[in-house]
A and B are shown apart, each in its own frame.
Chain A
């Protein structure tokens, strides 16, 4: 089915300005440029026709009514820290940025919830609720820059996923605007329900293709007890992977279990100017955060994890039991993506997810593929969940266009392996348009047809973030 979209004409600009006010409508190229790309890379940029900055649900409704009437594509934009191209306005049209919808509306201590607008920076929410003794556990690694709305759009995951799950596990309610302007309110300050199809869960992770989220009710956890961080160097990747599976079956309360291979540590430690001990000799590192209800519990559980690591051949087990050591050892993991971008602005990030038992197989496959394609590859990941990020750098001398195709081939190959191992092609970054072909290839006709019908049920004219996740069957010249 061929689709056509309307253009943002001067009269539509006028209508948008009337609805939002002059300062909330950006139509000059210089102001719109930052909204044309995300962390997927500037090479994938597409300039929108207009950027609007609504400040309320009512203003979003007004924009969506105009968009629907004139059949104009609408792409949601938040921190643009995504790496699958979800925020790139592939079919131009209107970009709605959530930057003016950044209020923490309410913290409800009785119901243990926070109600926020989508543009709230995730870490700001974490800090505010921590002061009241709560943890917002849905925060991803990009917590300092990304927004709660963006996290909902991609069902983002983070270093605490092994304990708390991804963003979805912490979204209790959503308010969203449909194309045309109707508002739906799904879920609430409640933690269970069998009350019809769960539309809220459909919207989470839909990357702005089904509805525009305008309010989010999130679950708050009690702050964890005492924690300590263990940094464990292993001579080889295999030893680290094997130790992980044994750590996970100890029955110890873990908040995080992260993996970094040697090249990623060497690269990031230069960037943050903090070296891990043994980094010149260790093949891989585990970074494990252990929780204990009391000091005694914590000490006992650190011993159990640490002694197991020694038994598994760890070169050493380091314990960070003060804030400065903790901050230092986590700085390497937290700045990983930034360090990679400094090394190569065209690096491409992978996000394969496999059952834990298959982590050794996928790590091996990544190494073999990197060799086959003659690529420099670094790997980090939420190993405790089987979610690995193989990241590859553009070889010198290869053009950006050639690189896009080459990297796509590499990841297509790798995603097929992940799927064969019982996994999927994205654990937390999303599909966007970058991984759409692999989704379509690996999901099969029946499931994709169902997804297209879900898309059509929410968005009959396919104006919301067209070209992402499901195919809108448009192949324009010059679009990625």
Chain B
């Protein structure tokens, strides 16, 4: 059983700032960390490797600048067996499709993998598209919003996924690509010993050439989508005072009327 986890290094901030002119994220001066949702994918992979035993192995991949090597090291400290950084100037400006193509090429080169785990989405780009696109490119079963993995046996995986108003139990044929949600598990804390142990580990870097990717599939050239502009939604808050005065009954009726209208407006 071979498991792969795809992780991304993202800015360690709750408030992503966008350059209004360029439509790109402002990353200068921000500390980086492993995308918090990817930690759940890591936890699931490491847990299932240990549960399945035998020859099972977890390999972590991340596409990003050379500094993303730190994210790979964190994943190794987390318990992954090996890691690869996918990094090349040619990849700059990749959209979700170009990213998925590069990741798929890396999986093919280092594969085959039975199970590929991704976080639900990255907290910076917020698209949630790379995982399913990757699954499609590798012709795997694609399952999103996975909140429980119940069984992996005989070339199949049984899991539960969150759907509106409830959940769905899915049995899928391996290889499968899963995008997992944070309800799946509680990621473990890293120990200092593990961090120290992987500090000097050599992390292989895969370039576009290593992956045999044609230039027109990489970066901006390989990206059919482009962020043209970014607008922040306008937040409007208003307050209407209902004066009780002497007539409490009337005030309550007025309040009930307003609430009924608001509910109707939102439902309509």
Contact = CB atoms under 8 A, between A and B. Distances in A.
Interface stretch (A49-57, A312-320, A364-372, A438-446): A312-320
A277 interface: yes
Q: Which of B187, B188, B189, B196 gathers most chain A CB within 10 Å?
A: B189
B189 A322 contact: no
A316 B36 contact: no
A303 interface: yes
B26 to A, nearest CB: 14
B136 interface: no
Contacts of A318: 189-192
A303 B192 CA distance: 8
Nearest to B70: A295
Contacts of A322: 12, 33-34, 36, 39, 74
Task: State the 6 A-B residue pairs at the shortest beta-carbon distance, nearest first.
Answer: A306-B192, A318-B189, A317-B192, A322-B33, A324-B36, A319-B190
Contacts of B196: 303
Nearest to B33: A322
Secondary structure at the A interface, as helix, strand, loop or mixed, is mixed
A240 interface: no
Contacts of A316: 191, 193
A69 interface: no
Interface string B176-204: 00000000001111111101100000000
Contacts of B195: 319
Given A226-B31, A306-B192, 17 more contacts: A230-B192, A274-B186, A277-B188, A277-B189, A302-B192, A303-B192, A307-B192, A316-B191, A317-B192, A319-B189, A319-B192, A320-B189, A322-B36, A322-B39, A322-B74, A323-B12, A324-B187
Interface in B156-215: 186-193, 195-196
Contacts of A320: 189-190
A338 interface: no
Contacts of B14: 323
Interface in A49-81: none
A231 B189 contact: yes
A54 B139 CA distance: 69
A292 B190 CA distance: 19
A317 B36 contact: no
A329 interface: yes
A325 B31 contact: no
A321 interface: yes
Contacts of B36: 322-324
B192 A321 contact: no
B191 A321 contact: no
Interface of A: 226, 230-231, 274, 277, 302-303, 306-307, 310, 316-325, 329
Contacts, number: 49
B74 A321 contact: yes
Contacts of A317: 191-193
Contacts of A325: 187, 189-190
Contacts of B39: 322, 324
Interface string B108-121: 00000000000000
A320 B187 CA distance: 11
Contacts of B189: 231, 277, 318-320, 325, 329
A192 B197 CA distance: 48
Contacts of A321: 33, 74, 190
Nearest to A322: B33
Q: Which of B12, B36, B195 gathers most chain A CB within 10 Å?
A: B195
Interface string B1-38: 00000000000101000000000000000010110100
B33 A319 contact: no
A65 B249 CA distance: 41
Contacts of B191: 316-319
A5 B187 CA distance: 61
Contacts of A277: 188-189
A320 B193 CA distance: 13
16 contacts: A226-B31, A230-B192, A274-B186, A302-B192, A303-B192, A307-B192, A310-B193, A316-B193, A317-B191, A317-B192, A318-B192, A320-B189, A321-B74, A322-B36, A322-B39, A325-B190
A226 B195 CA distance: 17
A318 B190 CA distance: 6
A296 to B, nearest CB: 11
B15 to A, nearest CB: 9
A324 to B, nearest CB: 5
Q: Which of A226, A319, A322, A323 gathers most chain B CB within 10 Å?
A: A322
A324 B31 CA distance: 14
A350 B191 CA distance: 33
Interface in B52-98: 74
A316 B194 CA distance: 11
A318 B33 CA distance: 17
A219 to B, nearest CB: 24
B33 A323 contact: yes
A476 B22 CA distance: 71
A323 B12 CA distance: 7
A234 to B, nearest CB: 15
A321 B71 CA distance: 11
A306 B31 CA distance: 22
Q: Which of A306, A321, A323 gathers most chain B CB within 10 Å?
A: A321
A302 B14 CA distance: 25
A329 B31 CA distance: 20
Contacts of A302: 192
Nearest to B77: A319
Nearest to A274: B186
A303 B197 CA distance: 12
A281 to B, nearest CB: 16
A319 B39 CA distance: 15
A322 B190 CA distance: 10
Contacts of B34: 322
A230 B193 CA distance: 12
A230 B14 CA distance: 22
A226 B191 CA distance: 19
A150 B53 CA distance: 57
A316 B188 CA distance: 13
Contacts of B192: 230, 302-303, 306-307, 310, 317-319
Nearest to B195: A319
